[in-house]
Amino acid sequence: MISLGIVTVLFNSDSVLDGFFESLHLQANQDFKVYLIDNSYTKQSKVLIESLIAKWKLEQNVYHFINDQNVGVAKGNNQGIELALQDNCQHILLANNDIEFTQTDLFDQLIITSEESKIVAPKVLYHNTNKIWYAGGHINKYKGLVIHENEFAENYPDKRCFTEYAPTCFVVFASEVFKEVGMMDEKYFVYWDDTDFILRANQKGFKVLYLPDYVIFHKVSISTGGRASLFSTYYFLRNRLYFIRKHFNGVSYLSSILYTYLTSVAKIILYDSGRKKAIIKALRDSNKM
């Protein structure tokens, strides 16, 4: 039985893999298996992955699975989760590959803690900074937004606590969570799939335990061109509206839908033609989901 199964979805990830593999190599506990789900396979990336596996002595840990097209993050994660469950992994880590971490006992501590709380997330800092990206979070049901606590703060004196939300750039789950909650909703493709899953886990009684003493560094949205890209503009808005319609009702539904549409109209007025088209398409396509 494998202690930890690590699922990461590759998409134009060549530039970040060296740091990711080095972080895996640094872990004192090497009882883990990495499921690389490749949504952007090329011969060059295959050669790079093989060379990095050898460089960081991860031949016994890393397994490369190739999709013939980009199936999205949600489906890619599902593929990896299913493989980890088939291998009887006791815990499953969903991780971006644009992250790095240096604490050698990180896996050990997250595994120990997840045996008690079932879902565990560390602090996440912007790469090469002391600025917080994630230090706990919640879902604003009246605006249809996910709020990261204390984002951009430095050296915030926080403490271990249960929190409503964690982004799956790095979250450890006891395997039983997936058996009870189910899998990622593949309609999202990318963005909001993790929010959807965490909310469904909350509804099943699972809470996220935030551990501020353990830290990872995140190169935010590097594979999708950043939040200002047309790709991110479209999928973030389309999926936000799908999430609202799927989960909210009554006052929270009306408030969040109204807020989202009003802010989208303002952006259509202010933004350039490319982003205007992405927003309008997202508004239309969300109704078809």
CA 113, distance to chain mean position in Å, is: 20
- Indicate the SS3 state at residue 40: coil
User: 258 and 207 in one domain?
Assistant: no
The pair of structure tokens assigned to 65 is 């699975």
User: 82 and 35 in one domain?
Assistant: yes
Strand 137-140, strand 145-148: pairing = antiparallel
Task: Find the CATH number of the domain harbouring 160.
Answer: 3.90.550.60
User: 199 and 100 in one domain?
Assistant: yes
User: 272 and 175 in one domain?
Assistant: no
Q: What percent of the chain has pLDDT over 70?
A: 97
User: 260 and 155 in one domain?
Assistant: no
Strand 32-38, strand 62-66: pairing = parallel
- Give how many domains the chain has, as a whole number: 2
Q: Is a pLDDT exceeding 80 seen at residue 227?
A: no
Residue 45: per-residue pLDDT: 96
Looking at 182, 203, 224, the residue that finishes a domain is: 224
- Indicate the SS3 state at residue 146: strand
Q: In the structure, what pLDDT confidence band is assigned to residue 24 with cuts at 50, 70 and 90? A: very high
Lowest-pLDDT range, 209-213, 225-229, 274-278? 225-229
Residue 264: per-residue pLDDT: 97
User: 244 and 133 in one domain?
Assistant: no
**278: domain range?**
230-286
Concatenated DSSP letters for 201-254?
HHHTT--EEEEEEEEEEE-TTGGGT-TTSHHHHHHHHHHHHHHHHHH--HHHHH
Q: Is a pLDDT exceeding 90 seen at residue 27?
A: yes
Residue 220: per-residue pLDDT: 84
Please write the tens of the pLDDT for every residue from 94-120: 999 999 999 999 999 999 999 889 999
Q: Is a pLDDT exceeding 90 seen at residue 47?
A: yes
Residue 226: per-residue pLDDT: 59
User: 61 and 179 in one domain?
Assistant: yes
User: 280 and 184 in one domain?
Assistant: no
Residue 222: per-residue pLDDT: 54
User: 216 and 266 in one domain?
Assistant: no
CA pseudo-torsion sign 43, 11, 18, 34: negative
User: 279 and 234 in one domain?
Assistant: yes
Average pLDDT over the chain, rounded to whole? 95
Mean pLDDT of 172-201: 98
pTM: 0.95
- Indicate the SS3 state at residue 61: coil
Residue 265: per-residue pLDDT: 95
Looking at 224, 245, 274, the residue that finishes a domain is: 224
User: 271 and 202 in one domain?
Assistant: no
Q: Is a pLDDT exceeding 70 seen at residue 225?
A: no
Q: Pick from 69, 113, 94: which is nearest to 207 by CA?
A: 113
User: 187 and 120 in one domain?
Assistant: yes
